[in-house]
Amino acid sequence: MSQAVPVNGRLRRIDLLAISLAALLPRLFLSWTIPLAGGLEDPNCAPDEAQHFVVVRALARGHVPSFSEIAVPYAAYPPTNYAVQALCLAALTHLPCPGRFPARDPAIGGYFFARLGSVILGMISALLLACAASGWDGTRRTGLAAGLVVAWWPQSAFLGSYVNGDIMTVTAGAGLALSLAHWVRAGEKETGLAAVGIASGLVLLGKPYGYCLLPPAALWIASRLWRCSLTIGPLLRSTSLAVLIAGPVLLWNGIRNGGDPLGTRTFTRFLTMVPWPNGRPVPNIHGFIEWFGKSSFGVFRNGNLQMPRPYYLLAAALVLAGLAMAWLRVDWARPGTRRAALWLGASLAINLALIVYMSWFVDFQPQGRYAMLSVLLVAIVSVTVPARTSSRFPGNVWAAGCLAFLFLSVIEAARLVYSHPCVPASLLMP
């Protein structure tokens, strides 16, 4: 029988404020500095942002566009992917756009306000994962460190700075991680299970790669049912909440897309009509590993602006060393620890398998943003668990060193994006 995990310390308001500012500042700066030219010469300064913005602009005007109407594949996705960006654009579109570069097309002049939706979601993701880590561990410093990892992870900052449909999936997944942490803290019984159902419903309304979190979570909960620490009634209520949240939207989206509730079939058909100009990036095992690895930490602009090589090497070394220390030092006898580790490992494995499939058989690039939540969870473990389970002095030094490196990394990312705007030369001329 699982027992409730005692809580010895929680995040304070000052901690939440610090995490919020740490997340907001780099994302706001990147949102300001990334151009969105919106003309025929537009090289798309963030992956497919112009097409994402077309969908957000329509939603902000109260219209749900279809793929047949605007020939943008993202229109086939459930509009929940863009709800926050659309609300921000609708609320602020009457204001002058403060972006660094003016838009070539006046119709996209409010792109900065749509980006604010991504900025807000990026900040919320950092807060949710900070609260999840603090709730799981029961300590304040673990939550603070986790929040700063998310705030300063370079690719996470970039993802939360432009208009895209991925940041909502990351945020929903962070909500599921928080709900699971609270459920475990309460003893893996009925308490907190309703929140797991609600969070699962929100994950279902995101992009399909976020679904990797759900089967391991379902098996985790089913194991508690099998062990008789949970009854069928609360499980059915939790499942009903997930269905009530996601079911109507997915049903409606399937009807409007001709039986394609997730929009994936429409997107796959679109990819067959747009061949790669330089050939497919995969299959190529070495290229896949290098591209996915780098873009999981920091590759910017339209996937063509990389950080200096030492940053990638040191990031990989720190994460691997942190995971090794975590494996050796974690308290495996603690209630729920093994199951949580299995949930994270299984989710990551499913996520990677899906990315391999998408890259080899559906013609996607192996972008790290498709595994951003999994990457952030692994990074949080590698930073916080060794710091929590070792003696106080070396543990603090390890966490401080990792966070200092991430702070320098996000500063370097901001510098690179600012110094290398992929904008037509005509906009740079006085």
Residue 269 pLDDT > 60, yes or no? yes
pLDDT in tens, 103-157: 777 777 789 999 999 999 999 999 999 999 998 888 899 999 999 999 999 999 9
Mean pLDDT computed over 374-383: 96
Residues 17 and 232: their CA atoms lie apart, in Å, by 40
Mean pLDDT computed over 20-47: 82
Signed CA dihedral, 128, 133, 139, 141: sign only: negative
Backbone φ and ψ for 426, nearest 5 degrees, come out as: -60, -30
Signed CA dihedral, 396, 402, 403, 404: sign only: positive
**Which residue is associated with the tokens 């949240």?**
245
By residue count, the chain amounts to 430
- From 199, 421, 130, select the one nearest 304 (Cα to Cα): 421
pLDDT the model gives residue 280 = 56
Pairing, β 305-306 against β 299-300? antiparallel
Mean pLDDT computed over 359-383: 89
Mean pLDDT computed over 289-311: 92
| Cα maximum dimension of the chain | 72
Mean pLDDT computed over 332-348: 90
Residues 355 and 351: their CA atoms lie apart, in Å, by 6
Indicate the pTM of the whole model. 0.92
For every residue of 256-322, DSSP letters joined together read: HTTS-TTSHHHHHHHHHHS--TT--S-S-HHHHHHHHHHHHH-EETTTTEEPPHHHHHHHHHHHHHH
* Secondary-structure breakdown of the chain: helix, strand, coil percentages, each rounded to the nearest 5: 70, 0, 30
- From 360, 174, 208, select the one nearest 283 (Cα to Cα): 360
